[in-house]
Amino acid sequence: MTRLAFLLSLSPLALAFSNTSPFIAWSPYSSDVLGRLPLAVVDTHSVQLLEEILLSDDACKHDAIVLVDQPGLHASDLRNLPSNSHIAQSLSSAPSSHQFAYVPLTLPTTSTDSSLSVVARTASEKCGFQLVTTMPGQGGASVSNEKSIIFVTLPELEPGIERKGKVAEHDALLSTTLSSLPFLNHLTIVTGSPIRSTLSLYKRQEPETSSVLSSALSNASTKQKNGILHNYQLLTPALITTLLVVLFLFLPIMYFGISALASIQNPIRLEAQPKGYNAAKRKNQ
């Protein structure tokens, strides 16, 4: 019974980590914009957090800003990296760094362009930086000495048994990209985004959802359904969870408690009477 209650208590935590990605940033020099970031984020999406960093005046003080997009990145991927990896060593040795394990992701619905690249373009216009999109492992070949915002997109990480090896390969590509840049005071930001299959599924389902909704509304206007189950939702997830906890946890505990109390008996003790004792004679006296 207690195991079931423990699993039910963990279900909100599993939902809280879905559709999230880690968000890490570091700089080899002291960075004011990283020092002002909060210790944790609750309702801030990855794009909003990126806007808070890149659109601040302190971000323009860096010689370059490297924005690394890793589609499909999870917090467990970074935890599985060895201590001698480039990301782990950069975070441990950087004077300014910040890490968020679970930052909610947002799916673009009105534009086919990535939201991260839109923020990078806006920040380049604000700071007067040139915006450079480069391939992983080829950073220095396409970047000049001018102040720049460098947008790097790593290959997608798809579920599979070779995922750990792919993350290590991408870490090596990122190391090659950053080491070839002609900048010292640069700010590096690594975050994730939904994989393309998720985006294509989302965009494909959007018109289907609208058509289903319109057909449902038309059917509702022509045919009115009666009954309380058609008009109201009685069994909500919260109500179902409460019923399961009450039926399989509290009621058995209450039953065994009442049974234990009812089984308690007080033994009747009779004192031994002395030899030759006569109760009737004793009463008449």
Is residue 188 within 8 A of residue 148, CB to CB? The reply is no
Domain boundaries, the chain: 1-18+234-262, 20-193
CB 143 within 8 A of CB 181: yes
Q: Of 195, 173, 194, 157, which Cα lies nearest the Cα of 66? A: 173
Residue 96 CB neighbour total at 10 angstroms: 17
User: Are 174 and 137 within 8 A, CB to CB?
Assistant: no
Q: Residue 36, Cα to own-chain centre: how many angstroms?
A: 22
pLDDT the model gives residue 276: 61
Please report the pLDDT score of residue 9 as a whole number: 41
Residue written as tokens 């799916």?
Answer: 107
- Sign of the dihedral defined by the CA atoms of residues 58, 133, 194, 187, in that order: negative
Average pLDDT over residues 167-188: 89
User: How far is the C-alpha of 153 from the C-alpha of 217, rounded, in Å?
Assistant: 42
Tokens of 261: 């109390």
Q: Is 105 helix (H, G, I), strand (E, B) or coil?
A: coil
Tell me, what's the pLDDT at 13? 41
The conformation of residue 59, written as its DSSP 8-state character, comes to: G
Predicted confidence (pLDDT) per residue in 189-202, tens digit:
999 888 765 544 44
Whether 187 has a pLDDT exceeding 90, the answer reads yes
Residue 277 pLDDT exceeds 90: no
Contact 139, 65 (CB under 8 A): no
Q: Is the pLDDT of residue 99 over 50?
A: yes
Instruction: Please give the pLDDT value at position 264.
Output: 82
> Phi first, then psi: what are they for 173, rounded to 5°?
-65, -40
Partners of 23 in beta bridges: 100, 191
Q: What are the distances in angstroms from CA 273 to CA 277, 280, 281?
A: 7, 14, 14
> What is the per-residue DSSP string for 193-225?
E--HHHHHHHHHHHHHHHHHHHHHHHHHHHS--
pLDDT value at residue 140: 56
Q: Residue 170 contacts by C-beta under 8 Å, 6 or more apart in sequence?
A: 70, 136, 154, 155, 157
Two tokens, residue 151: 């947008």
Torsion from C-alpha of 129, 130, 135, 138, nearest 10 degrees: -90
If one counts every other C-beta atom within 10 angstroms of the C-beta of residue 148, the result is 24
Structure token pair of residue 167: 């993350």
Q: What tens digit of pLDDT does each residue of 210-264 get?
A: 454 455 445 544 444 555 555 555 677 788 888 899 889 989 999 999 998 888 8
